[in-house]
Amino acid sequence: MRQFLRHPTEMPVELVPRKGRRLPLQRLHNISLGGVACNSARAFRRGTAIELCIPMLGEQARFSGTVAWCRKQVDDYMIGIAFTDAENLFRARMVEQICLIEQYRKQREEALGHALPPEAVAQEWIALHAADFAPV
């Protein structure tokens, strides 16, 4: 089963539908690459071609994918975005690691009450979570 990394809610994303593109549901069912799960104020149909953007990280943090699933929650929707090529998957997984390390750094600093060296926090996070990011 494909793994969808949970994007941290502290780093908002924008989901932009790519017009005129839809992946056939049969092909979508067979996608073997992973993806990202994120919150959205609106629902998207399964198979919709979409671009995931993380504005806080600049223009380089844009990834093309396909809506693999959409689940209604209390206040919004949880959207699963599958990356249909290895390059987008690799780039997105690297960006997700950066987002999760930043989230971890903020949590540790809040708990300790002082700033921590980013490199040390990154190494600590990698030691704890690197296995979750093994090659797909």
Residue 21 has pLDDT above 90, yes or no: no
User: Could you give the number of structural domains in the chain?
Assistant: 1
User: Quick check: is 14 in a domain?
Assistant: yes
User: Quick check: is 119 in a domain?
Assistant: no
User: Quick check: is 110 in a domain?
Assistant: no
What residue has token string 């929650």? Answer: 73
3-state secondary structure of 85: coil
User: Quick check: is 123 in a domain?
Assistant: no
Check residues 121 and 95 and name the one with the higher pLDDT. Answer: 121
User: Quick check: is 112 in a domain?
Assistant: no
User: Quick check: is 23 in a domain?
Assistant: yes
Residue 38 exposed, middle or buried by CB count within 10 Å (0-12, 13-18, 19+): buried
Check residues 37 and 27 and name the one with the higher pLDDT. Answer: 37
Residue 24 has pLDDT above 90, yes or no: no
Supply the CATH number for residue 12's domain. 2.40.10
User: Quick check: is 128 in a domain?
Assistant: no
| Percentage, residues of the chain above pLDDT 70 | 85
Domain that holds residue 74: 4-96
Of 11, 56, 7, 64, which is closest to residue 33 (Cα–Cα)? 64
Radius of gyration (Cα) for the chain, nearest Å? 16
User: Quick check: is 127 in a domain?
Assistant: no
Which of 19-23, 35-39, 84-88, 114-118 has the lowest average pLDDT?
A: 19-23
Distance CA 118, CA 124 (A): 10
Largest CA distance in the chain: 51
pLDDT tens-digit series, residues 88-99: 777 777 777 888
Do you know the residue count of the chain? 136
pTM over 0.85: no
Residue 44 has pLDDT above 90, yes or no: yes
